Structure formats: C-alpha cells, structure tokens
Amino acid sequence: MTPVTPGIPTKGTPFTPSSDRLGVALLAVGVLLVVLAFRVEPMRASFGSIILYLTMVSIAAGSLFLIALEYIAGAVWSVPMRRANEFLAGLSPFLILLVVPLFLHIHDLFHWSHPEAMASDELLKGKAPYLNIPFFVLRTVVILGIWALFAALFVRNSTAQDISRDPALTRKNVYLAAAFLPVFAITITLTAFDWGMSLEAHWYSTIYGVYFFAGTVLTALAAGTLVVLNLQKSGSIPALRPDHYYSLGALMFSFVNFWAYIAFSQFLLIWYANIPEETYWFMARWRNGWQYVSVLLILVHFLVPYFALLSQEAKMNPARLRFMAIWLLAAHVLDLYWLVMPTYAPGITLGWVEVGFPLVGVGMTFLLLSWKTKRYNAVPIGDPKLQRGLDFRL
C-alpha cells in the first residue's frame, strides 16, 4: 500500500505518545469515583450520569451527522479530516454501557416512571402512551442500535476504500447518508425529549430537540477539531492549509450563533406567552443561585466564543482553535448541567460526586482514539476526493 500523495503517513502512529496510559488512568479513576458516587448518592449520581450520557451522545451522534453531511453534500475540504469524525463516531456502540446504570435508576430520575404519580395527574395520563418504562427503554435501545449500525457501515465502507480505492464505496456512503440524515433528525430529537425534557414531565418545548441538536453539532465539531489538531501534531495527517482551519473555525462560529439563536428563540416565546406551566422551567433556572449559571452559560456558550472566533485570523490560528474547541466542549457540558441539574435540586449541586463523570468521558474517548489510530489510517487514503481536499482553497 503506497500513499496517494507523498507525505501522507499510513496507520500505526499513536494518537498521542501517552494516550493509552492516560486513557486507562482517567477511566480507572473516573469509574472508581462514579461507582463510589452511585453507592453514596445514587440519585445525584444518576443525574450526573445523564449529563455524561448526553455529552457522549453529542460527540458520537454529532460526528455521525458530520460524516453523513460530508457525503450528502459532496464536500471536498473535509475529506482529509474525516477520519477524526469516524474515530469519534466509534463511540456509538459504547453508549449502551453509559445508559444501563440510568435504566437501573429510572425511578430516581423520572417522575413519570412512578405509576402512583401518573394515576392522579391528568396531564401525565395524557402522556402515558409515550412516557412509560417499556417504550422508553425500547426507544433508547433502538436509537443506540441505529447509531451503532450506521457508524459501523460508514466506517466499514470508508476503511475498505483505503485498500480497494473503489469510488463505488463513496457512492454507497452517499446513499447511507441520505438514509441516515432523516433518521438522525428523529433520533436526536427523541433522545433530547426522552433524556432531557422528560425530566420535567409536565413541561414541554417543541424547540428543545433543535436546541440539543445545535449543542450536539457544536460539540462534534469541537471534538473533531481537537482530534484533527492532535493527529496533525503527532504527524498522523499531513499539513493542512489555513483554508481548512478557517472552515473548521467558521463552522464552529456559525453553530455558536445557531445555538444562541435557538436558545433565545426558546426563551423569547416562553417569556412572551407567559403561561405558568411553561415559565416555571425558566424560573427554576433563575432562582437559588441558578441565575448566575444562566448568565455564565450565555457568556461561556455564546459571547466569549463569538468574539474569540469572530476574526478571520482567529479562525485560521490552530492554537486558538484548539483552545476554543476545549472551551466549547466544556460549554456543552455546562449547558447540559444547566438543563438537567435544576430538576435534581432547586439549588446548585456541585461536588466530588460530579467529578468522576468527565473523567470517564475523557478517559473512554482517549482509549478509543488510541485504539482506532493504531488500527486505521488517520487519513482516508483511498478516497477519490482526497487530493482535491488537500489542495482545498476557499
């Protein structure tokens, strides 16, 4: 196997020199802390676990979305970087591991899971055909199965192309992408409704799915950018042009704005209509210290990244992109914390119980990347669009 372009390395280069040991260490400490948290405060740990689950869903499913987007749009510029998304989409089959503890603590999480609460509540009775434990578990398992299936198919075709150089495989993935995108729209919305919105079973917001989608794509972009920058640093992928960095930065910038647009749309309509059964959700996030988190979220998720990524120079600067990618990942975790935790307690809950979850997330991602980079080429060397992608110019 010879590289299509001289200078493109083939597989075998580790993600980072110490990603193996780092991943194992983080995962071990994280799992220990999480297990301890579930023993000491099972309810609080369950809520923290939802944040971890939704973050990993964002990275895995969002990366799948970006892969599908590249194929369906016939995009050229992102081809040299597609493996980063494919590696991250490899998280999909492991999401089930994160969701099992949540199934075991379903009564700690969801008010609607208690039949006695449903019996005396007219509103919840109406939602009972959707919000019941068997259907809920079935939905989640089916959705995770769909994501794992599509991730496997996309990556199988893409890696098979490394050897066969067959353009028909690209064609196959285009059809897969066409099938996946509507499925993605439904599955990501249902995931947001099930694991985010149904925590407050009385409350509803039809834009909630789009809100989560905005954060999901932003997170996948940030994670993908971070992986691309690291792969470049380790020499696994060849030098990229400023035009590539500009495109990554511009996409992150646009989804920062899209998130703010959707977040404000959700707030504006509820504020305008001023109906008590809708406004209480925002009121819970404007009391007992949550108002500071709300303001912090606007700063962290919108204003700071907006100005940090505004200029052309900033978008072309890899150091700035790396910093902002980490920043935006943290912003999405803060966003999910803001969405989920007010249901657990009226006040702000933060302590050692919450520390284990990010460690688990980072640890499993590091291990996965380390395994994937050893096994696969970091550049899709057989893709017919690769050379054009490397020569990409705005």
Select the span of 82-90, 271-279, 284-292, 325-333 touching other proteins (CB under 8 A): 271-279
Q: Which of 393, 208, 229 is nearest to 318 (CA)?
A: 229
Task: State which residue, 122 or 272, has the beta carbon closest to other proteins.
Answer: 272
Nearer to other proteins among residue 108 and residue 243 (C-beta): 243
CB of 271 to other proteins, least distance (A): 5
The CA angle 34-35-39, to the nearest 5 degrees, is 115
Task: Decide if residue 274 touches other proteins (CB under 8 A).
Answer: yes
Kindly state the number of chain residues that form the binding site for other proteins, as judged by CB under 8 A: 11
Question: Which value, to the nearest 10 degrees, does the dihedral of the CA atoms of residues 276, 282, 287, 293 take?
Answer: 180
| CB closer to other proteins, 135 vs 264 | 264
Question: Which span sits near other proteins by CB under 8 A: 50-58, 74-82, 120-128, 238-246?
Answer: 238-246
Is residue 119 involved in binding other proteins (CB under 8 A)?
Answer: no
Indicate which single residue of 41, 121, 166, 243 sits in contact with other proteins (rule: CB under 8 A): 243
Grouping H, G, I as helix, E, B as strand and the rest as coil, residue 107 is helix
Q: Between residues 170 and 317, which has the closer beta carbon with respect to other proteins?
A: 317
Output 280-288 pairs: Cβ under 8 A, ≥24 positions apart.
280/203, 281/200, 281/203, 281/205, 284/342, 284/343, 284/346, 285/338, 285/342, 287/346, 288/346, 288/347, 288/348
CB atoms closer than 10 angstroms to residue 115: 10
Closer Cβ to other proteins, 178 or 268, answer by number: 268
User: Nearest Cα to 289, choosing from 341, 352, 353?
Assistant: 341
In the complex with other proteins, the residue whose CB is nearer, 348 or 394, is 394
Integer CA distances (angstroms), 122 to 132, 195, 206, 237, in order = 15, 22, 20, 58
Structure tokens at 284: 């819970």
Which residue bears the tokens 């023993």?
39
Q: How far is the CB of 313 from other proteins (least distance, A)?
A: 10
Q: Smallest distance, Å, CB 269 to other proteins?
A: 10
Nearer to other proteins, 120 or 274 (CB): 274
* Interacting residue with other proteins among 184, 213, 246, 253 (CB under 8 A): 246
Q: Which member of 264, 292, 323, 352 binds other proteins (CB under 8 A)?
A: 264
Residues binding other proteins (CB under 8 A): 242-243, 246, 264, 267-268, 271-272, 274, 393-394
